[in-house]
Chains A and B, each alone.
Chain A
């Protein structure tokens, strides 16, 4: 069973048309949930970290929220330059306390048409 599921797989919006991307997760203990943006041929670019349910973070036209089962990335009045693949990842609580890898979803491919 996938630990991180993102929906929709692809989304096409008109410039200025607000929408939300979903990331649902199943982990025994959440240490953090991360949102990244990835442009074609490039590495993921860090956007937000959310640690606990109810937390919200904003950056320009993007707002990320977190509940106990899912996270949303809200895009308000998007512009064509917001077109990218948005990745969600989780990090489980590591009893060892050291560095640990992230578990990623497959991403949402977002296209903003002018």
Chain B
């Protein structure tokens, strides 16, 4: 595997379900991110992890719960979601060092909440 991978690629869940999204980066980066992409809206930053520590929570509802057990893996735990949470969830990673800040994205998980 290379780059940033995400599983599952597609997920359909009911409002009472609990599910998790997984992201893994194979780039040796030290920062990871969750973004939400909804139709007709720009990508929205959800969470930032720097060296496994959460450094930003962009006013995300508590029904989204991130977890970063190490610098290569990132999870997004979902529970009691609403239909408006249906979107493409993108994971990204970057190497934070002087002059280098590019974020590389995974293919995303297409989430549908019924």
The interface of chain A, by Cβ under 8 A from chain B, is 4, 31-32, 34, 36, 41-46, 49, 51, 87, 89, 91, 96, 98-107
With A43-B108, A99-B55, A107-B42 already in contact, 15 other A-B pairs whose C-beta atoms are closer than 8 Å = A31-B101, A34-B103, A42-B108, A43-B4, A43-B6, A44-B105, A46-B104, A51-B99, A87-B43, A99-B30, A99-B48, A100-B55, A103-B45, A106-B41, A106-B42
- Cβ B105 vs Cβ A49 within 8 A: no
The interface of chain B, by Cβ under 8 A from chain A, is 4, 6, 30-31, 33, 35, 40-43, 45, 48-50, 55-56, 58, 90, 92, 94, 96, 99, 101-108, 110
Q: Whole-angstrom distance between the alpha carbons of A106 and B33 in the complex?
A: 19
Q: A43-B106, A99-B49 are in contact. Are A49 and B101 (CB under 8 A)?
A: yes
The listed residue (B45, B49, B56, B90) touching A43 by CB distance below 8 A is B90
- Cβ B48 vs Cβ A101 within 8 A: yes
Q: A31-B101, A102-B45 are in contact. Are A43 and B40 (CB under 8 A)?
A: no
- Cβ A102 vs Cβ B103 within 8 A: yes
- Cβ A100 vs Cβ B48 within 8 A: yes
Q: Smallest CB–CB gap between A1 and chain B, Å?
A: 14
Q: Is the interface of B mostly helix, strand, loop or mixed?
A: strand
Q: A87-B43, A106-B42 are in contact. Are A101 and B101 (CB under 8 A)?
A: no
Q: A32-B101, A87-B43, A107-B42 are in contact. Are A101 and B107 (CB under 8 A)?
A: no
Query: Closest residue of chain B to A32, judged by CB?
Result: B101
- Cβ A99 vs Cβ B50 within 8 A: yes
Q: Whole-angstrom distance between the alpha carbons of A94 and B106 in the complex?
A: 24
Q: A4-B42, A104-B42, A107-B42 are in contact. Are A99 and B107 (CB under 8 A)?
A: no
